[in-house]
Amino acid sequence: MGLQADRENAEQLLTEMAARRSRAVFILDGLEDLFQKFSSDPNQQNALRVLLTDCPYWLRSLRGCSLGLIIFVRYDLVQAAIQQNLHQFLIRSRRLRWEREEALRLVAWVCGRADALEEKDVVRTARVEELSRILQKVWGLKMGSDRSREARSESWFLAALSVFNLQIQARDIVNFLAVTARHSAQDFGKWNDRLLTPAAMSKALPECSKKKIKEVEEENHVVRDILQKLRKADAEQKRVPFELDAVGLDRSEARILEANGILFQQEDQYWIPELFRHELGFKAERRPRILAVARLVQSRNDPA
């Protein structure tokens, strides 16, 4: 049941609901569509700040209140709106993120649905280490033979599909599996210990990168404009790591990309996730340091 209200009577209606001991939870989503100029418009920033901080405080002030408010909002909108005491706000909030266990469980579920795993009946309840062992049948132990010095397949997968705020999206995982499976079919017979081959996993990244950026640009117009600047940067300067001046970004634009997990700063150098690097046309110096950068990001976010 929605609340039929406008700016003139909303407060009165909520107060009356609280007085009647009514129980309700209001859920807000899609704020990025309403506040498309949040990064530069002070009015939109103020509106967001009131919604995120003042509204919950006001609801708590209603005596005997059984009204709740759940707001789904991207981190970059929060960062633009709450420029003071951001850390305290985040402590009181809940950040939704997919991490290793959720990602591996989804991979196992998809492979089970495709009859590519015999253990499909246990993937919902298996512990994460058991999932890791089961999935070696899908992508092997390493991105090469078991005795090679290549990265472990699971670690490579997580690092390649994650952005720098340590999040990995379900749709990216499913797309990666589909593209990799198609490429792996061309390597049939080359590997007998796995379904997805190392070459296919590597080949899938550029295609996945193209789709990822298309989706981000459709959903986040602020980020879209910055990514377009990176597309137009001098090709000779488009190498990771890079300095902001070399690709024409200023610090405020960098902060927006950092909030969205698309940039990571290490001293005066910046890195781009593999899922964005390919489609933006950035080249890696020597061999891409996928796992090394992932470890730096992890240590920055979780010093302990």
Write a three-state SS string for the chain. CCCCCCCCCHHHHHHHHHHCCCEEEEEECCHHHHCCCCCCCHHHHHHHHHHHHHHHHHHHHCCCCEEEEEECCCHHHHHHHCCCCHHHHHHHCCCCCCCHHHHHHHHHHHHHHCCCCCCCCCCCCCCHHHHHHHCHHHHCCECECCCCCCCEHHHHHHHHHCCCCCCCCHHHHHHHHHHHHHHHHCCCCCCCCCCCCHHHHHHHHHHHHHHHHHHHHHHCHHHHHHHHHHHCCCHHHCEECECHHHHCCCHHHHHHHHHCCCCEEECCEEECCHHHHHHHCCEECCCCCHHHHHHHHHHHHCCC
In a domain, 5, yes or no: no
Q: Print the domain residue range for 172.
A: 100-301
User: pLDDT tens digits, residue range 210-219?
Assistant: 999 999 998 8
In a domain, 153, yes or no: yes
Domain co-membership, 217 together with 242? yes
Predicted TM-score (pTM) of this structure? 0.78
- Residues whose CB falls within 8 Å of the CB of residue 151, separated by 6 or more in sequence, listed in order: 142, 143, 290, 291
Task: Mark which of 92, 111, 139 sits at the end of a domain.
Answer: 92
Domain count, the chain: 2
Domain co-membership, 87 together with 228? no
> Do the Cβ atoms of 142 and 114 come closer than 8 Å?
no
Domain co-membership, 160 together with 283? yes
Domain co-membership, 41 together with 79? yes
For residues 81 and 44, what is the distance between their CA atoms, to the nearest angstrom?
A: 8
In a domain, 131, yes or no: yes
Domain co-membership, 88 together with 106? no
Instruction: Report the share of the chain in percent with pLDDT over 70.
Output: 94
For residue 31, the tally of other CB atoms under 10 A from its CB is 21
pLDDT (tens place) for every residue of the chain, 304 residues total: 566 666 677 778 777 777 777 788 888 888 888 888 887 888 999 999 999 998 888 888 877 777 788 998 888 888 888 888 888 888 888 877 778 899 999 999 999 989 888 877 777 788 999 999 999 999 999 999 999 999 999 999 999 999 887 788 999 999 999 999 999 998 888 898 899 999 999 999 999 999 999 999 988 888 999 999 999 999 999 998 899 999 999 998 998 898 888 999 888 889 999 999 999 999 987 666 777 777 777 777 664 4
In a domain, 3, yes or no: no
In a domain, 2, yes or no: no
Domain co-membership, 155 together with 18? no
Domain co-membership, 260 together with 163? yes
In a domain, 4, yes or no: no
User: pLDDT tens digits, residue range 241-268?
Assistant: 899 999 999 998 998 898 888 999 888 8
Domain co-membership, 254 together with 122? yes
Domain co-membership, 141 together with 274? yes
User: pLDDT tens digits, residue range 99-114?
Assistant: 889 999 999 999 998 9
Task: Mark which of 75, 92, 109 sits at the end of a domain.
Answer: 92
In a domain, 190, yes or no: yes
> Do the Cβ atoms of 110 and 170 come closer than 8 Å?
no
In a domain, 59, yes or no: yes
Task: Mark which of 92, 125, 151 sits at the end of a domain.
Answer: 92
Domain co-membership, 55 together with 160? no
Nearest to 169 by CA among 283, 279, 273, 91: 273
Domain co-membership, 194 together with 54? no
Domain co-membership, 23 together with 135? no
